[in-house]
């Protein structure tokens, strides 16, 4: 009986650097985490509950989607679903001339439509628990650069979806988003392989003279999920080391 009172969190994209940090943070906070990802879980992922899920299939195949959501509900087994974190994302970069229809479909399906359908499907469980939804957006929702058209558009839309959902369900389910800038993950460091000077320059460009750590996103998500901030609803919280205030020009 006591086990039913353990709060649950569902976290997508659990195998990535940010995803793993989110899983660890919520497990340490006393949540039981249902983690999902396209690939099988890494050996050090602390979650006892893992569901392999293809987010594109969830968007385009209703039968597949219902199977995955039914599995999530089975894992809950009547326990309260307090938090849904839509973290999974893909970053497909390219010049405007080269972005294909497939690039756009993939980006929007994973980064925007999957968070919507996860939120829609799990509304009843979140409603009963008076839970919350946290979308992991990006600084690219507000500030972007060349070759990020598809990614930036998807994240701007995700931040917009955050506000829209809060208007509709905010009397019973809070909906907020985190907009990180550069975060120290293996993916980011891999993109700077052989260019350590440029990576150092990126660090120094942030007013903090460092980039963010995945654990900081985990700690911020814990705060957003807490009932102590019950009036915080429909907002996008920048976690950007102050870079959002920088004006970059030739002078």
Confidence of residue 2 (pLDDT cuts 50, 70, 90): very low
**Per-residue confidence (pLDDT) for residue 3, from 0 to 100:** 47
Q: Which CATH architecture has domain 2-182+213-245?
A: 3-Layer(aba) Sandwich (3.40)
Q: What is the pLDDT of residue 32?
A: 97
Q: Mean pLDDT over residues 205-226, rounded? A: 96
Q: How far apart are CA 198 and CA 194, in angstroms?
A: 9
The beta-carbon contacts of 157-164 under 8 Å, at least 24 apart in sequence, are: 157/108, 157/112, 158/86, 158/111, 158/112, 158/115, 159/135, 159/236, 161/112, 161/115, 161/116, 161/135, 162/133, 162/135, 162/137, 162/234, 162/235, 162/236, 163/234, 163/236
Task: Report yes or no: 112 and 158 within 8 Å, Cβ to Cβ.
Answer: yes
Residue ranges covered by each domain of the chain = 2-182+213-245
What confidence tier does 182 reach under pLDDT thresholds 50, 70, 90? very high
Alpha-carbon dihedral 212, 213, 219, 220, rounded to 10 degrees: 20
pLDDT band at 55 (very low <50, low <70, confident <90, very high): very high
91 touches 106 (CB < 8 A): no
* pLDDT of res. 92: 94
For 103-131, how does the pLDDT look when each residue is reduced to its tens digit (9 = 90+)? 999 999 999 999 999 999 999 999 999 99
- Look at residue 251 and tell me whether its pLDDT is greater than 50: no
Taking the model in full, what pTM does it have? 0.94
Backbone angles phi, psi at 175, to 5 degrees: -130, 120
- State the pLDDT at residue 93: 93
Entry field: residues in the chain: 251
Minimum mean pLDDT range among 41-45, 169-173, 200-204, 224-228? 41-45
């Amino acid at each position: 009986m006591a086990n039913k009172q353990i709060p649950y969190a569902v976290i997508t994209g659990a195998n990535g650097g940010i995803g793993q940090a989110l899983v660890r943070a919520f497990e340490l906070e006393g949540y039981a985490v249902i983690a999902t990802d396209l690939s099988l879980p890494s050996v050090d992922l602390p979650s006892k509950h893992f569901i392999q899920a293809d987010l594109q299939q969830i968007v385009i195949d209703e039968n597949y989607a219902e199977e995955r959501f039914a599995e999530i509900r089975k894992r809950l087994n009547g326990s309260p679903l307090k938090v849904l974190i839509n973290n999974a994302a893909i970053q497909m970069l390219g010049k405007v001339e080269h972005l294909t229809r497939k690039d756009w479909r993939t980006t929007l399906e994973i980064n925007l439509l999957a968070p919507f359908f996860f939120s829609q499907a799990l509304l009843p469980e979140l409603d009963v628990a008076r839970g919350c939804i946290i979308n992991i957006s990006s600084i690219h929702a507000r500030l972007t650069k060349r070759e990020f058209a598809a990614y930036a558009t998807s994240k701007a839309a995700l931040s917009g979806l955050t506000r829209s959902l809060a208007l509709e369900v905010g009397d019973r389910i809070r909906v907020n988003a985190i907009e990180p800038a550069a975060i120290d993950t293996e993916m980011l460091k891999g993109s700077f392989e052989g260019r350590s000077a440029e990576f150092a320059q990126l660090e120094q460009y942030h007013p903090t003279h460092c980039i963010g750590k995945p654990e900081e996103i985990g700690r911020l998500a814990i705060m957003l999920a807490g009932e102590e901030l019950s009036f915080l609803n429909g907002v996008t919280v920048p976690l950007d080391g102050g870079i959002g205030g920088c004006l970059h020009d030739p002078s």
